[in-house]
Structure 1
Amino acid sequence: MRPRLIALALGVALLPAVALTQSAPAPTPACDTGLAQINPIFGWQLQRAQALRTLAAAPATQQAAALAEWRALATEVRADIAGLRQGLAEGRIAPAPVIDRVLSQVRALDDQLAASPLATDPAWRALLDRDLRPALAAYIDFLERDYRPKAPRASSFAGRPEARTCFGEAVTQWTTLTLPPEEIEASGHRLLAEARADLAKAAGVSEADLPTLLAELRRGTPGATREELLKVTEGALSRGRAATPRFFHLDKPLPPIVVEPFAPALEADAVAGVYRPATDSAPAAYVVNLSRPEERRLMAEVIAFHETFPGHHLAFAAQRSAGSFNSGFIEGWAIYAEYLADEAGLYATPRDRLGLHAKHMWAASRLIVEPGLHVRGWTRAQAIDFMRANTLLSDTEIAVEVDRYLALPGQSLSYMLGADRLRKARARAERVLGKAFDIRRFHKMVLDAGPRPLDAVDADVDRWIGAMAKPRT
């Protein structure tokens, strides 16, 4: 089973993660690590679990029509085992933490199938007992007995002679930028320092007092509930939609978007939220992870702005051209949108603004952790320790994040690297044009052409500046 689509989060990253649909870039033969076949971010097991939840509530005719597709899944799972076995023989092996996540997700899918209301239908019962659940059992057994014992403990790149080359390819495939690890790390340290300074300023404390503030924020929001998280998310979406005309010129109505919780079986290994584009039968959705609400409350608003307005949903609604796959543009825009939401005064409370800067500490830390894992040979524990010292994430969330970086080398870099380029491009336009700068025109120019390489965006901005600066006759 080759990779399906991933819905990028902030995490991104079900999606993983999802129309923000992105397919994992195909590795070159020398850099193939098996992650295209077994992955906890865009794997088939996640998409099937979410689809099963929807199907269980569908009309009987739709359930009957889906039988053939689900019957084919059993065949595909067995084909996947054969492909993974071949990769094992050729040394293309995903990291052990990635395998552990996938095992957890496949077991959860099996439990979900066993408990599904579909199982009361004789045709579905026969499919589950005779074909599908035995195939899942065989998949689990193969991973546990044959595959995982030979898997690397951390990055599949680290320790290989071609680690720098492979990591560089991954960075370029996801971001369109060609950057050495040292430059990525330098950007990470710069952006992390900026985010720390922004957090201290927003909280009204000196940077010397920042450790006390960080300790307080790490305790989360005691008493926060799933219901509160959902309400806060819906409120942020509503304010973002209402503010859109102030910053964007749209010549068509904004498409609807709904807030939808993750299937409970997916929550443990899923990111905080993902954008799912509209289909012929359903509107676009922000799929939000409501687990651990006391931890998630601090960043609930900033993540909602990232995924909806003025982030992913707005960007996809505004583009005139579909463009081409480019996570650097797509995720860079969504981080830029988090800053824009602050500029628009959309954060409901001062504490929600602290969540904005806390999230940017998290995103900046990725630029240091990924080269550490994939080039410098950091262990998983070293990566976790760095993020514990430099972000406000819980240990549970940090583990999810680090395993995501192992599963998608280079992808997490696209957020801050892309946003940094977009923010610098806007600053350049404002500096040159002065009072002639028009934010709505600038955003239209950036979004109209859809996702494209970041160097192409810079070129578009420079042409736009030249056109806007010409005296009008």
Structure 2
Amino acid sequence: MKKIIFVFSILLIIVSCKKENEAKDLTEKASEAFANLLEQYNEEGFELNPVNATNAGDYRFNDKFPNFLSDRYKTKKKDYYNKFKQALHEIDDSKLSETEKMSKSVLEWDCNINLEAMSFKKDLMPIDQMWSKNLDFNQLAGGTNAQPFKTVQDYKDWLIRVDAYLIWLNSAIDQMKKGMESDYVLPASLIVKVIPQFEVLADSNVENHLYFSPAKSFPESFTDEERKELTEAYTNMVANKVVPAHKKITEFLRDEYLALGRTSSGINATPLGDDYYAHQIKKYTTTNMTADEIHELGLSEVARIRSEMEKIKKEIGFEGDLNAFFSHVRTNKRLMPFTERSQVIAFYDSIHEVMKPQINKLFKKLPKTPFEVRRTEPFREKSAAANYNAGSLDGTRPGIFYTPIPYVEKYNIFDKEDLFLHEAIPGHHFQISLAQESKELPDFRKTLWYSAYGEGWALYTESMGKELGLYKDPYQYFGMLSNEIHRAIRLVVDTGLHAKGWTREQAIEYSLNNEAESESAITSEIERYMANPGQALSYKIGQLKIRELRSRAQEKLGEKFDIREFHNQVLETGCIPLQLLESKIDSWVEASK
């Protein structure tokens, strides 16, 4: 009898092990199938938008630039998102790991928000002064950005890509003409900022043209024959293609489009209406907040930060009200110390040196991707804000912090320590580079961008200045508060412009009354919000959520709370919608108890 029981037990064990192995095999197969799906999404995404591939350091599509405005392209794009959305519905969550479940949620969000965007006719206004594809393309043209110019084939790829881009540029004119017939037009105040951006590229001086720049710096390995051939090709490209195309669009904008430019400021004055703005809020904040909720939050934050500013004004010993102090900061010559643009770059490098000894106290992992500070290219710096350009996925191209220096004698430094934290380190450079270098994230998540997370993180890092050895000068700390109130003001003026009927002038006046930026800088900012409704909301909404999560974790974990691990938990996910970040941090807190 004992022998029978023993044999039966062995059989049960064998059957159990077999079932476990079968379950394990099914899980592994499901995991492999899901990984293949994510890789396919990434691969087809690069084919759909080859410039994204170039920016990521994938150079297989360097000669491609699709006509994003064509019906054929739009159909292809819609089919792409619908295909992967349907594929996700067929995946069994029970077979996925936690990381895979996160990837599934992120992919589902990405498909849905992009499909939703395609239901609006925003392509009838394809060009503006800050966000449109022509500006991104022009950044590649100088030969110092993501588009490589190291081999003869690189140079030939760019010639082909330019031809394709000029097709898009011509389509943009066609789209704007259709928009003119149905009230889809930019405000006139934005059109006058767009015209000079094309005008400068309509200059027929070939050798000084932006698009001729790569032909002035051939690699030493090129033969004389190759140099001659490429020089002729680039001369022809600029003189006979690029310049005429830019003359055509300059004349169209100046002689036809400007006359029909809107006098209204908000997007709800166009046929896109309130529904489009609600979509933009969802897209950029990754929340379901309403315009009214955000507006009230902005007013509350502005009041709170103003009270903090009063304390700094008192510490400095300034006599007069806060608005007078704003004017003092705007015009204080001590805060405009530079005579050469190289001094500005050296100033940012010195900020980085001060921070370096403190970084490890706040972060477990540091990016390997190199980093540089550069002046914003002259063709765009008069209408551009400081910005960060990500390095390549393989780390061979550095992350670059661009700062516009149109008038070096007026370059005010009162808020520039804070700006470096946001745009460079530990802001965008850490957040983007660590995601790109991750061994855990699937490729498609390494290049995703959700503004509430990305800009929210960058704004959150501004508060770390004192911990990193900065803000010793009260003016610099006031600069941090100024940039924070600037983002709080955005909540008020963006919703004011696009949901409450505010004019451009009302928004400028509100900003002037609540921050220390110059009127010219504020005007550029307000026009930025007019061009891309909702984007400006992402910073403060994201920052407040990350602050909330940090406070919650500190309260629940007490002495077990580790700031370095908290930052690691936030950064290791890459860019994700805020609701997914909140779920992740809450799970980490519970596991850490």
Corresponding residue for residue 343 of structure 2: 228
Corresponding residue for residue 5 of structure 2: none
1:257 aligns with one of 371, 385, 391: 371
Structure 1 position 214 matched with structure 2 position 326:
yes
Amino acid at match of 2:420: A
Decide whether the 8 Å contact of 1:237 with 1:305 is kept in 2. Answer: no
Corresponding residue for residue 165 of structure 1: 275
Q: 1:199 to 1:275 in 2, by over 3 A?
A: farther
Distance in 1 (CA, whole Å) between partners of 2:270 and 2:177 is 21
RMSD: 3.2
Please state how far the C-alpha of 1:438 moved relative to its aligned partner. Answer: 0.6
Corresponding residue for residue 404 of structure 2: 289
What are the superposed Cα offsets for residues 296-352 of structure 1, whole Å, 9 maximum, x if unpaired? 312221111111211011112333433643110000000001012333333353322
**Percent sequence identity over matched residues?**
26
Corresponding residue for residue 364 of structure 1: 488
Please state how far the C-alpha of 1:168 moved relative to its aligned partner. Answer: 1.5
Q: 1:154 to 1:109 in 2, by over 3 A?
A: farther
Aligned pairs for 1:183-194 within 5 A? 183-194=293-304
Distance in 2 (CA, whole Å) between partners of 1:127 and 1:325 is 33
Corresponding residue for residue 25 of structure 2: none
Structure 1 position 43 matched with structure 2 position 153:
no
Partner of 2:379: helix, strand, or coil? helix
Structure 1 position 389 matched with structure 2 position 493:
no
What are the superposed Cα offsets for residues 268-318 of structure 1, whole Å, 9 maximum, x if unpaired? 011033333336662111112123443431222111111121101111233
Q: 1:310 to 1:171 in 2, by over 3 A?
A: same
Aligned pairs for 1:118-197 within 5 A? 121-155=231-265, 157-159=267-269, 163-197=273-307
Distance in 1 (CA, whole Å) between partners of 2:518 and 2:204 is 27
Please state how far the C-alpha of 1:133 moved relative to its aligned partner. Answer: 1.2
Q: 1:296 to 1:111 in 2, by over 3 A?
A: farther
Structure 1 position 317 matched with structure 2 position 427:
no
Partner of 1:444: helix, strand, or coil? helix
Decide whether the 8 Å contact of 1:34 with 1:92 is kept in 2. Answer: no
Corresponding residue for residue 177 of structure 2: 85
Partner of 1:309: helix, strand, or coil? coil
Corresponding residue for residue 374 of structure 1: 498
Decide whether the 8 Å contact of 2:186 with 2:261 is kept in 1. Answer: yes
Q: 1:35 to 1:403 in 2, by over 3 A?
A: farther
Distance in 2 (CA, whole Å) between partners of 1:55 and 1:350 is 37
Decide whether the 8 Å contact of 2:266 with 2:499 is kept in 1. Answer: no
Structure 1 position 271 matched with structure 2 position 395:
no
1:399 aligns with one of 505, 523, 539: 523
Corresponding residue for residue 7 of structure 2: none
What are the superposed Cα offsets for residues 222-262 of structure 1, whole Å, 9 maximum, x if unpaired? 44343332222112233344432111111x75321111111
How many residues of Structure 1 are paired with residues of Structure 2 in the alignment? 454
Q: 1:410 to 1:367 in 2, by over 3 A?
A: same
Partner of 2:195: helix, strand, or coil? helix
Q: 1:292 to 1:189 in 2, by over 3 A?
A: farther
Amino acid at match of 1:372: G
Aligned pairs for 1:106-125 within 5 A? 106-111=198-203, 114=206, 115-116=208-209, 121-125=231-235
Decide whether the 8 Å contact of 1:3 with 1:37 is kept in 2. Answer: no
Partner of 2:268: helix, strand, or coil? coil
Decide whether the 8 Å contact of 2:125 with 2:186 is kept in 1. Answer: no
Distance in 1 (CA, whole Å) between partners of 2:125 and 2:360 is 40
Amino acid at match of 1:82: D
Please state how far the C-alpha of 1:113 moved relative to its aligned partner. Answer: 6.5
Structure 1 position 346 matched with structure 2 position 438:
no
Partner of 1:258: helix, strand, or coil? strand
Corresponding residue for residue 19 of structure 1: none
Q: 1:239 to 1:113 in 2, by over 3 A?
A: farther
Higher deviation after alignment, 98-107 or 364-373 = 98-107
Partner of 1:269: helix, strand, or coil? coil
Q: 1:156 to 1:366 in 2, by over 3 A?
A: closer
Amino acid at match of 1:197: S
TM-score, normalised by the number of residues in structure 2: 0.70
Bigger Cα Rg: 2
Aligned pairs for 1:11-22 within 5 A? none
Q: 1:87 to 1:456 in 2, by over 3 A?
A: same
Q: What residue ranges of structure 1 are gaps of 5+ in the alignment?
A: 8-21
Q: 1:313 to 1:79 in 2, by over 3 A?
A: same
Please state how far the C-alpha of 1:463 moved relative to its aligned partner. Answer: 1.6
Please state how far the C-alpha of 1:414 moved relative to its aligned partner. Answer: 0.3
TM-score, normalised by the number of residues in structure 1: 0.86
Please state how far the C-alpha of 1:458 moved relative to its aligned partner. Answer: 1.7
Decide whether the 8 Å contact of 1:164 with 1:375 is kept in 2. Answer: yes
Decide whether the 8 Å contact of 2:392 with 2:398 is kept in 1. Answer: yes
Partner of 1:268: helix, strand, or coil? coil
Please state how far the C-alpha of 1:423 moved relative to its aligned partner. Answer: 0.6
Decide whether the 8 Å contact of 1:374 with 1:409 is kept in 2. Answer: yes
Structure 1 position 104 matched with structure 2 position 216:
no
What are the superposed Cα offsets for residues 47-74 of structure 1, whole Å, 9 maximum, x if unpaired? 3433333369967945455322223333
Structure 1 position 75 matched with structure 2 position 199:
no
What are the superposed Cα offsets for residues 70-113 of structure 1, whole Å, 9 maximum, x if unpaired? 23333332222223223333433233233222212111233396
What are the superposed Cα offsets for residues 111-133 of structure 1, whole Å, 9 maximum, x if unpaired? 39642365893332222222221
Q: What residue ranges of structure 2 are gaps of 5+ in the alignment?
A: 1-47, 56-109, 217-230
Q: 1:165 to 1:200 in 2, by over 3 A?
A: same
Amino acid at match of 2:290: P
Corresponding residue for residue 12 of structure 1: none
Partner of 2:388: helix, strand, or coil? strand
Q: 1:454 to 1:36 in 2, by over 3 A?
A: farther
Decide whether the 8 Å contact of 2:198 with 2:247 is kept in 1. Answer: no
Higher deviation after alignment, 455-464 or 83-92 = 83-92
Distance in 1 (CA, whole Å) between partners of 2:560 and 2:199 is 58
Higher deviation after alignment, 393-402 or 113-122 = 113-122
Q: 1:199 to 1:342 in 2, by over 3 A?
A: farther
Q: 1:174 to 1:393 in 2, by over 3 A?
A: same
Q: 1:240 to 1:54 in 2, by over 3 A?
A: farther
Distance in 1 (CA, whole Å) between partners of 2:584 and 2:239 is 57
Partner of 1:71: helix, strand, or coil? helix
Partner of 1:260: helix, strand, or coil? strand
Amino acid at match of 2:140: A
Partner of 1:378: helix, strand, or coil? coil
Corresponding residue for residue 300 of structure 1: 416
Corresponding residue for residue 15 of structure 1: none
Corresponding residue for residue 13 of structure 1: none
Decide whether the 8 Å contact of 1:241 with 1:309 is kept in 2. Answer: no
